[in-house]
Chains A and B, each alone.
Chain A
Amino acid sequence: MSQTTNYLCWCNGISAETFTAAIRANPRADLYEIARSVNLGTKCTSCLADVEDLYISLFQSAERPDMRVPRDERLPLRRRLWRFIDRLSPKVNVSVRHLAPVIRAPGVRTVVSLANSVAKKIGPVSAQADVSVAVRDAGGAVRHRFETRLRPGERTDVVASDHLAGAESIGTACVSILPRGGGVTGTLRPHFRVECRAAAGSVHTQGATGALSAFHLTPRGAPGERQSVFLMNCTGRRNVAKAVFTPHGGPSRQAAVPLAPNGAAWWHLPADGADHTELREVVIVGERNFKSYFVVGTAGFDRISLDHL
């Protein structure tokens, strides 16, 4: 084999040219159908990342005129200039802020989970990071602050609901992450768990910038199922979220949900609908930025899940 051959698949000796020719011959076929038709990536499969990368880059060049409107491939002068400046510029670490809802109820607790985990296969390549968690109540008052530095391989859990008062209450956990030094982002995206007596639900946190609107389609669910929208104010000013609920074929209902600065509130959906699969529409529009999660629980809150809107 020639060293200069542009092989994609070394197991079967298939070149990039063979692959691109196959795409031209059958431009509407599925990527993996094309790869299979030329015996590409069928043994060790390790070339499939290169195959996908090449496939996408073909879209982005004028290589597939049937798939993409051609454009001048040469970068505009302004972008080339920025690239040059960026290359000379000093590097900075980028911090991120995430928000998580916190629910406290009998038998229910919310745990914010932070992990800078290391996979044996690739080793400790992720950056260490300074992490802080601020737990606020529904009124936006800070009830607890936690700070730590997570090195590769370390993890920590913060039981955020323990810092809220009352038997039943809600709040937010604001997680700030500032990587230190170089490395990759790894598993640093925070998650949270809502643990009930005999079940646990988990989901990742979301960026704290928020948005002005959210839309969700939800099925009616089983009789007694509790569905709510958990709203978090992303600003330090008073906010009002206007919630519009439209059952299938029925008239819309509206509610205004006030949010304290950096506070939280939830809005419980009416239990309309004849059938558990009947879809209802929920639209939330904020006066200012907010973040929302969709909460679904069984009647006794012995099983809860949250999903981002």
Chain B
Amino acid sequence: MGFRFLFPQISVGPNTENDLIQTIPGDRLADLVGRKSFAILIERSVYARGRVLSTQRHEVAWNGAAWSDPGAFQFRLAAAPAFDWRDPANLAFLETGISMLSDGEFAAPDGLAFYSSYPAASGKTYFSDNALKYGERNVIATHLRFGVLVACYPNILIDLDRDITESILFLNPYRSTVSGTVELEGTAASRNVAIPTLSGLRFDLAEMLPRGSRAWQGTVFVTSKARPVLMFCKHSAAQPNVVTTMEHSLAYYADDVQVAATQRARALFGQHVLRRIEEWRGRRAALKRALAPR
């Protein structure tokens, strides 16, 4: 079984302090195809404010041992004033698509998870997972079970006296406007947010604090009939370009907590066997890679 392309991945763009570096793991990509030779197309586009800021296309071939152009797996976008997060609409995002050009298939359309790095010349580096543009099983399960996307982040901390706040980064890589509702658990605060097509929007949760309140901690929920890509970003309240962490959202897990006892027993047995196999394979492969001559 195989797939001709991987589901597109979405990464948050840089700001004025932090660059964006995306590195696609070429060796894992080759493992995902498992053929002696094949060629792929990597397409990357950067979007903000409804416009395409740049597009790159790279054709790369695998000959069984090496890639023809390993540099194509890396993408860099430098920090710039155009990405100043003090304006919430200056949030850019990168869409990365990978498709097969030759014979061959990818083993799974969502089988290549990787992350992006955000180094700063004078601030602090942070990292972030990418998000799938579509095909995210938790998102689909939540939509099917509840009729809406219910995304959440249970670890929000806002303390304006300590310069700590948190923003939701809404990314809309789709061709129609996406709207959603933000609510802070246990409060009456609720806000509707609309994100225009091919745009990003930074929504500072401090805007939802009751008048006179300077601090809040708890869970934030975002509900939407559509499927915005969401990231949660802890940053300085005074200077939103100074970021501490960026985390993917948590689709409200719609899995049942109970499973059949027989199914559970099989899973435990399978995990035990896999762990033993992994002990042999993983240790040897990682050591070989670490000590390979460069």
Contacts and interface: CB of A to CB of B under 8 A. Distances in A.
Interface string B144-171: 1111111010110101001110000000
Contacts, number: 281
B258 interface: yes
B282 A202 contact: no
A237 interface: no
B260 interface: yes
A14 interface: no
Contacts of A45: 176, 178, 225-226
Given A215-B286, A305-B124, A187 B1 contact: no
Interface in A172-223: 179, 182-189, 191-193, 195, 197-204, 209, 211-213, 215, 217-222
Contact of A303 (B145, B159, B244): B244
A278 to B, nearest CB: 9
Contacts of A50: 144
Given A45-B176, A92-B258, A59 B152 contact: no
Interface in B105-155: 105, 109, 115, 117, 119-127, 133-135, 139-140, 143-150, 152, 154-155
Nearest to A285: B286
A119 interface: yes
Contacts of A165: none
A262 interface: no
B2 A69 contact: yes
A231 to B, nearest CB: 15
Contacts of A306: 245
B138 to A, nearest CB: 10
A222 B124 contact: yes
Interface stretch (A2-10, A120-128, A139-147): A120-128
A277 B124 contact: no
A203 B247 contact: yes
Contacts of A212: 278-279, 282-283, 286
Contacts of B15: none
Nearest to B178: A45
Contact of B155 (A52, A191, A252): A191
B258 A252 contact: no
A274 B271 CA distance: 44
Interface in B224-246: 225-227, 234, 236, 242, 244-245
B163 to A, nearest CB: 5
Contact of B21 (A33, A118, A182, A277): A277
Nearest 10 pairs between A and B by C-beta?
A: A49-B143, A213-B286, A219-B119, A115-B154, A179-B257, A185-B253, A117-B219, A191-B155, A86-B260, A244-B290
Contacts of B154: 113, 115, 117, 155, 187, 189, 191
Contact of B134 (A52, A68, A202): A52
B76 interface: yes
A155 B4 CA distance: 44
Contacts of B9: none
Interface in A228-258: 242, 244, 246, 252
A34 B265 CA distance: 42
A94 B264 contact: yes
B287 to A, nearest CB: 6
A59 B183 CA distance: 36
A252 B290 contact: yes
B8 interface: yes
20 contacts: A89-B261, A92-B261, A94-B264, A117-B152, A118-B185, A120-B221, A182-B256, A182-B258, A183-B257, A184-B145, A185-B253, A185-B254, A187-B253, A197-B162, A215-B289, A219-B119, A219-B125, A222-B122, A283-B286, A303-B244
Contacts of A219: 21, 117, 119, 125
A82 B174 contact: no
A218 B117 contact: yes
A225 interface: yes
A118 B245 CA distance: 25
A92 B125 contact: no
A82 B262 contact: yes
A277 B76 contact: yes
B14 to A, nearest CB: 11
A152 B283 CA distance: 42
A66 B2 CA distance: 10
A220 B119 contact: yes
A94 B290 contact: no
Given A86-B263, A199-B236, A221-B119, A69 B1 contact: yes
Interface in A33-64: 33, 36, 41-42, 44-46, 48-50, 52-53, 55-56, 59
Contacts of A44: 225
B250 interface: yes
Contact of A199 (B105, B164, B174, B176): B164
Nearest to B278: A212
Given A191-B155, A279-B21, A117 B263 contact: no
Contact of A277 (B19, B256, B261): B19
Contact of A91 (B143, B252, B259, B287): B259
A225 B118 CA distance: 13
A59 B109 contact: yes
A59 B4 CA distance: 10
